[in-house]
Chain A
């Protein structure tokens, strides 16, 4: 690997460029083979009927038409997913923010509390899911046992039509620690002199929170909002492990239905069109959030 060997004459710039491309080659191969290729294929597959055993057949828009007009599960799974997103995301941001505010106080042993709040978010999701099936177990589980000892008969949780989705949300909230750390970093980035200035102006604690903390924190909250909306639209593993979509398909989320279509019913074309609908829907929602952001997200750089 020394330069002493006689090589075809290359200028330094050309050699540098060549090295650059060479170093990027592994990623480039992966990108073409496992990203761009599949994305293009997925788009085409959405217009085909392909059930693996029979050759693929061009069917135009019929997958999309069937989805929107003839597939009850499509609407239902989207409804279940929207329920999950609309309940989980606000609670997630609220819990993360409250915990971060709590940790931002001066108190003894704060590092220990920070670790304790954070650790559930790094627990392997399947292990966490199994643990929560046991915690939510109606008869002997931790939650209902505790409720019973104060005289309340708890719901059936994962076996109940009404409580299955809240149960999954509860479990997901246990993992709010990652977002909490991000909010905490945001809180610690608020310049102290702003609080001092507000105090001189006679602002009380709530006013300081409302007029200093919240605006300064809004970019962080926006970041978490965007990411958790994207992630919770794709909720899959907890439902797959904990309920399998039941009871009575009350936790059949969009991704779970897509998975069934693709890998249980081997309906590949149909599943590909479902994937594109979700992608476009989430992308549109994200763009709307960015549009709305200028109304409530405060960026310091714009002001100066």
Chain B
């Protein structure tokens, strides 16, 4: 016992031989993590820097070795030059129009259906819900060919209808997300309104929609981004240049002018910037979206 006491501090060191080095190890570790983070950030961010840098350079600086990062002088001409080859303003409005139809569908039609699924009792409702959930698992390609034939029959090819009408009728994924959110809204809030004789439509509009703003923002952003980025839909259903979306127009631009990297990068920048703005304005809704899909649970 006496011996134990005598060598007390020493035995402590024997148990943790590295204890003396703990602070140094931690410092190295922290430094290592920081270095890896910076390295990763460079790899992920450099393509953007390269894009913007190219869009602001004259050709003799674009085709240069070693690569020039900071344009000298800054050339803005690539941006107006894009419009000579690709009517970006038309593409922009076409894309915006289609995207707004998607947002409308997500916010109004989908939330109406989600309200029915989460609140209104009806025979067969849960069966219908299961059908809707399994709809999410059907891949788009299985429907693509007959959809094309159907739209051709309806004379919808080369119009915006194929890209807007189905979306405005509702998308299962958004209905599902909104239903999950509506289930978290307490019933008591509606009960008083029901006793007062308010219709369900009024309750949905005046009570549920205002309370569900965060979830609605999430589906609005998701649907906007989907429509903004979609390429396959416009590729198959649109033919004339004036009706192209940004995705399709940009692809056509590159197909025709594969070496005009200045204007091409300017055009890409113009397409990416609105998405980045949406992202930075609404970052928390992206994170919320991941939580709403139930992945976290």
A: which residues have CB within 8 A of B?
A: 1-4, 13, 16-21, 23-24, 26-31, 33-35, 37-39, 41-42, 45, 99, 102, 105, 107-110, 112-113, 115-120, 122-127, 130-135, 137, 139-140, 142, 145-146, 148-149, 174, 177, 181-182, 185-186, 189, 220, 223, 230, 234, 236-237, 240-241, 255, 258, 262-263, 268, 271-272, 275-276, 278-279, 282
Contact = CB atoms under 8 A, between A and B. Distances in A.
Contact of B250 (A33, A39, A127, A181): A127
A140 B63 contact: yes
Given A19-B199, A31-B131, A35-B135, 7 more contacts: A16-B200, A30-B166, A39-B143, A107-B33, A112-B41, A130-B265, A181-B290
B220 interface: no
Contact of A27 (B132, B197, B246, B291): B132
Given A38-B143, A142-B47, A185-B295, A268 B283 contact: no
A42 B283 CA distance: 40
B15 to A, nearest CB: 11
Nearest to B117: A24
Contact of B296 (A118, A142, A185, A237): A185
Specify which of B40, B150, B290 lies most central, judged by the most chain A CB atoms within 10 Å of its CB: B40
B145 A279 contact: no
Interface string B53-87: 01000000011111100000000000000000000
Given A127-B271, A140-B64, A148-B65, A276 B250 contact: no
Given A115-B283, A116-B44, A125-B231, A17 B142 contact: no
Contacts of B132: 27, 31
Interface in B220-253: 225, 228-229, 231-232, 235-236, 246-248, 250-251
Given A26-B109, A275-B144, A16 B122 contact: yes
B192 interface: no
B9 interface: no
A139 B62 CA distance: 11
A212 B164 CA distance: 47
B41 A113 contact: yes
Nearest to A268: B145
Contact of B123 (A17, A23, A236, A262): A17
A112 B271 CA distance: 23
Contacts of B8: none
Contacts, number: 249
A19 B116 contact: yes
Interface of B: 30, 33-34, 36-37, 40-41, 44-48, 50-51, 54, 62-67, 109-110, 112-113, 115-117, 120-123, 125, 128, 131-132, 135, 138-139, 141-150, 166, 168-170, 172, 175, 197, 199-202, 204, 225, 228-229, 231-232, 235-236, 246-248, 250-251, 254, 258, 261, 264-265, 267-268, 271-272, 275-276, 279, 283, 286-287, 290-291, 295-296
A126 B275 CA distance: 13
B127 to A, nearest CB: 12
Interface majority SS (helix, strand, loop, mixed), chain B:
helix
A177 B286 CA distance: 12
Contacts of B115: 23
A145 B67 contact: yes
A142 B53 CA distance: 12
B232 to A, nearest CB: 7
Given A29-B169, A35-B138, A124 B247 contact: yes
A293 B225 CA distance: 32
A263 B147 CA distance: 12
Contact of B112 (A26, A130, A276): A26
B131 to A, nearest CB: 8
A16 B271 contact: no
